[in-house]
């Protein structure tokens, strides 16, 4: 069994190493069932981690489902009819390029191996091209230096069997994306919810991929969660988006087009408004432009630094079998710009495929034109774990002082696993009781933690590490004046606040943060 520790050793940059060791030290996110030596690519979220993960999911659900009339949610099964994956093309085409070591028999993902060794981007390179590069540059096994086989395709789906008989007829797959159920369930959801085009179906849930080279912690793992929307549009109206307002069109984004990348090297990044990109036909359809801007906005609302995000168009050879145009939202990771989210134009590919495979009519009756159509789809798809890791990398700060260095997660207060920490200066003289009273008062409004052990400095440091935005200290003056000191994480500023005003002051500080960084509340 390959170990998670091996995949960690592939991480060479210091920042990522520090974020990973913070995650492990504070049990935020760590290798799955580590006491047994876990398999690479599986992780467990600890108490702070699962709180932060839930907050990311809740923010997404609130933004894209609960706050909109044109998107409804579902929660489908992980194991579905295997015919779903025949129809979607995953059985035939969900492959990554694989090379075997002829000496030690270890397996490598050919594209990441070439990227690692030659320090170039190989997005969209064919099997032959990767094989040729391996041969030309005499790339060998990273583990033992042995010669490598020719590159071949490896299907990423995990399979299992349904029922007691384990043969070809009982084979089933753990879903490699949540997307397909939104297509398979399109008709029942559309009819039951009386939805008219354009509308979307959204889902948050687990997906599984037998990645050849899980790496960079949870950036690429084998079990992960996705947040996906399939947004269905009348096929003649994909370039006519009534909610593409002037405000959306005016949004400036960094982008790198397929044409630029095809010129060679990695291409030049430009800054353009969504409106200009649409009028220059850089982004081909209005609905695609709308979804790119809207997804970027949600990432900004999590507090992710806008300059670290860009749009990158897939080059032709890189497009998935279902897509005619895909843009990734990439983040500038310490190991380079990489995909955080994919937003694809899947046309009518999936509904048409499921209609063929199932023999069921999946068309939509358009009351205005009195015609039956197969809707086209724009699909914003993003991994929860990848957002989680990105948020941590983006928020990680180091504070050097003469006592050594400590770290802070400058998380958006709406994401912080603990929002308010309460410390009595001492356990004695009634301070602990007063501290607990403040804790009990605030915990109905905010996620709070009570901590009475260690020096106040150590307690601040513990909370900074997990991104707690506000710490409250109850001291001797508090007993007399019924007030406390509140300390703000990022500025370190401290002020005295009457206990009766605490909720208001904290809410107001949340509001100020949102106004400054783009907020969700």
- Report the interface residues with ligand GAP, using CB under 6 A: 177, 179, 209, 211, 220-221, 224, 226, 228, 339-342, 379, 381-383, 385-386
Cβ distance to ligand GAP smaller for residue 109 or 487: 109
Alpha-helical (H) ranges within 302-417 are 349-358, 384-395
Letter string b/e over residues 328-355, b meaning 16 or more CB atoms within 10 A of that residue's CB: bbbbbbebebbbbbbbbbbbbbbbebbb
Cβ distance to ligand GAP smaller for residue 342 or 435: 342
Cβ distance to ligand GAP smaller for residue 301 or 381: 381
Cis peptide before 198 (omega within 30 of 0): yes
CB of 235 to ligand GAP, least distance (A): 20
CB of 56 to ligand GAP, least distance (A): 12
Report how far Cα 89 is from the mean position of its chain's Cα atoms: 24
The full length of the chain comes to 521
To which residue do tokens 């043969």 refer?
167
Distance in angstroms (rounded) separating the CA atoms of residues 196 and 244: 18
- Nearest residue to ligand GAP by CB is 383
**3 state DSSP class of 450:** strand
CB of 68 to ligand GAP, least distance (A): 20
Cβ distance to ligand GAP smaller for residue 135 or 321: 321
Cβ distance to ligand GAP smaller for residue 385 or 394: 385
CB of 98 to ligand GAP, least distance (A): 15
* Of the candidates 398, 19, 366, the residue with the CA atom closest to the CA atom of residue 197: 366
Long-range contacts of 448-455 (CB under 8 A, 24+ apart): 448/418, 448/419, 448/420, 448/421, 448/422, 449/418, 449/420, 449/421, 449/422, 450/421, 450/422, 450/423, 451/421, 451/422, 451/423, 452/423, 452/424, 452/427
CB of 475 to ligand GAP, least distance (A): 46
Cβ distance to ligand GAP smaller for residue 339 or 464: 339
Cβ distance to ligand GAP smaller for residue 93 or 250: 93
CB of 406 to ligand GAP, least distance (A): 30
CB of 216 to ligand GAP, least distance (A): 9
CB of 142 to ligand GAP, least distance (A): 20
Residues 302 and 59: beta-carbon distance below 8 Å = yes
CB of 43 to ligand GAP, least distance (A): 10
Fill in the DSSP letter of residue 39: B
* Of the candidates 252, 344, 343, 331, the residue with the CA atom closest to the CA atom of residue 299: 331
Cβ distance to ligand GAP smaller for residue 351 or 420: 351
DSSP-assigned beta bridge partners for residue 43: 31
Distance in angstroms (rounded) separating the CA atoms of residues 152 and 109: 10
CB of 316 to ligand GAP, least distance (A): 16
Cβ distance to ligand GAP smaller for residue 155 or 478: 155
CB of 80 to ligand GAP, least distance (A): 14
* Of the candidates 30, 34, 12, the residue with the CA atom closest to the CA atom of residue 21: 30
Cβ distance to ligand GAP smaller for residue 211 or 325: 211
Cβ distance to ligand GAP smaller for residue 198 or 342: 342
Pairing of strands 43-45, 29-31: antiparallel
Cβ distance to ligand GAP smaller for residue 179 or 420: 179
Backbone angles phi, psi at 431, to 5 degrees: -70, -40
Letter string b/e over residues 151-180, b meaning 16 or more CB atoms within 10 A of that residue's CB: beebbbbeeeeeeeeeeeeeebbbbbbbbb
**3 state DSSP class of 71:** strand
Cβ distance to ligand GAP smaller for residue 379 or 465: 379
Letter string b/e over residues 275-297, b meaning 16 or more CB atoms within 10 A of that residue's CB: bebbeeebbbbbbbbbbbbbbbe
Residues 343 and 326: beta-carbon distance below 8 Å = yes
Angle of the 110-118 helix axis to the 127-136 helix axis, nearest 10: 40
CB of 266 to ligand GAP, least distance (A): 19
CB of 309 to ligand GAP, least distance (A): 13
């Amino acid at each position: 069994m390959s170990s998670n520790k091996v995949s960690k050793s592939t991480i060479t940059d210091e920042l990522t190493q520090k974020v990973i060791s913070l995650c492990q030290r504070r049990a935020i996110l760590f290798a799955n069932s580590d006491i047994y030596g876990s398999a690479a690519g599986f992780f467990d979220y600890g108490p702070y981690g699962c709180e932060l993960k839930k907050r990311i999911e809740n923010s997404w659900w609130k933004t894209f489902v609960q706050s909109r009339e044109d998107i409804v949610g579902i929660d489908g099964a992980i194991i579905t009819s295997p015919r779903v994956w025949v129809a979607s093309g995953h059985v035939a085409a969900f492959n990554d390029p694989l090379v075997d070591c002829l000496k030690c028999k270890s397996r490598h993902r050919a594209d990441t191996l070439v990227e690692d060794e030659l320090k170039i981007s190989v997005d969209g390179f064919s099997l032959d091209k990767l094989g040729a590069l391996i041969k030309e540059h005499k790339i060998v096994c990273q583990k033992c230096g042995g010669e490598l086989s020719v590159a071949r395709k490896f299907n990423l789906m995990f399979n299992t069997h349904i029922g007691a008989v384990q043969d070809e007829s009982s084979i089933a797959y753990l879903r490699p994306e949540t997307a397909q159920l939104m297509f398979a369930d399109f008709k029942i959801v559309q009819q039951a919810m009386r939805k008219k085009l354009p509308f979307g179906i959204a889902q948050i849930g687990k997906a599984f991929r037998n990645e050849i080279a899980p790496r960079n912690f949870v950036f690429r793992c084998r079990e992960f969660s996705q947040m996906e929307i399939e947004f269905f549009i009348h096929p003649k109206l994909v370039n006519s988006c009534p909610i593409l307002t002037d405000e959306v069109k005016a949004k400036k984004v960094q982008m790198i087009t397929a044409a630029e990348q095809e010129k060679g090297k990695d291409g030049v990044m430009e800054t353009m408004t969504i409106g200009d990109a649409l009028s220059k036909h850089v982004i081909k359809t209005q609905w695609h432009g709308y979804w790119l801007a809207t997804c970027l906005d949600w990432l900004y609302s999590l507090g992710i630094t806008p300059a670290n995000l860009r749009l990158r168009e897939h080059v032709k050879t890189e497009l998935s079998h279902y897509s005619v145009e895909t843009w990734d939202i990439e983040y500038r990771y310490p190991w380079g710009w990489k995909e955080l989210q994919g937003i694809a134009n899947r046309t009518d590919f999936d509904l048409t495929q499921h209609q063929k495979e199932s023999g069921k009519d999946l068309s939509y009756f358009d009351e205005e034109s009195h015609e039956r159509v197969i809707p086209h789809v724009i699909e914003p798809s993003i991994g929860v774990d990848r957002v989680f890791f990105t948020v941590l990398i983006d928020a990680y700060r180091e504070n050097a002082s003469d006592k050594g260095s400590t770290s802070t997660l400058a998380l958006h207060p709406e994401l912080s696993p603990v929002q308010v920490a309460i410390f009595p200066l001492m356990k004695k003289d009634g301070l602990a009781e007063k501290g607990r009273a403040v804790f009990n008062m605030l915990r109905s409004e905010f996620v709070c933690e009570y901590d009475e052990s260690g020096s106040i400095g150590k307690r601040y440091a513990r909370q900074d590490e997990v991104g707690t935005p506000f710490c409250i200290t109850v001291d001797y003056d508090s007993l007399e004046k019924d007030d406390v000191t509140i300390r703000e994480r990022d500025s370190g500023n401290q002020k005295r606040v009457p206990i009766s005003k605490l909720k208001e002051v904290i809410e107001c500080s949340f509001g100020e943060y949102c106004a400054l960084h783009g907020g969700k509340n």
